[in-house]
Amino acid sequence: MDVIGRNWNGMPMIVNNKLENGVLFENTLAGFGTIILDKDFIDEMILIANDVQKSDSFMSMLFSIHNKVNDYFRSDNINNQSREQTYANNEVIDEDGMVIGTKISSLKGKNIAKCSEKSIATYIILEKLYEIGRITRKPSLVLSQLTTEQSKNEPHAFVMLNKESNDPTKHLIFDVENPTLVRDNLGKEQFFAGIYSLTDDEYNNLLNGYSCTPTSLYEIVGDYKEIGEKRTYGNIELDKKK
């Protein structure tokens, strides 16, 4: 059984392989819980991939993934249990009485999913779309850090989409947990899916554990200005040791 955990030395964990039934994600939560990737969950993500591939553009596909992943974990019903309690109440126990972890499918509609669960879901969907040739940017699941005006160097998971070969386009961060607040040239404000453009230098810094504050893709390809708090991906503590 494959086990994937964070590198607590500050280096990002980069996942590029296909995720199969039974894979364990350890330490993807802040201090508790192990995620079990189960067949029911994978099958539902493949169904989403089959649905969103009908989108008429790459961007509309990402928007649809953002909405469907959030809808999968969200519910109109109120969950009175904490995130930690929800994980504990759905733990899988092996025949020796040991806790293995919590099936990610059991968190459907519980309103407790954060970056780890949502990024795992997003990666499985994008990996399937890449496998069937519907997208040409290879996805990676990244377990790293995030710093904002409201948080300081906290563990964070997101998906990275490599730039296309023989093409000057940039690498992309797809942060399904954090939509981007933008304002158009008419002053209208709205939230879009969190998509950020990385230069080659920013991409290489991120892979080596250093931080970068990428530019919203909407500022590059559209008439929009990001007005939300800036996000710095990677470990800012490692920057001080350069």
Length of the chain: 242
Q: Which two tokens stand for residue 86?
A: 């929800």
Mean predicted confidence (pLDDT) in 216-242 = 86
At 219, is the secondary structure helix, strand, or coil? helix
Tens digits of residue pLDDT in 114-167: 999 999 999 999 999 999 999 999 999 999 999 998 878 888 999 999 987 666
Q: 71: buried, middle or exposed (CB in 10 Å: 19+, 13-18, 0-12)?
A: exposed
DSSP assigned state of 212: B
Number of domains composing the chain: 1
Q: Domain span at residue 48? A: 3-239
Instruction: Check residues 200 and 49 and name the one with the higher pLDDT.
Output: 49
The Cα 14–Cα 31 span in angstroms is 20
The Cα 125–Cα 56 span in angstroms is 17
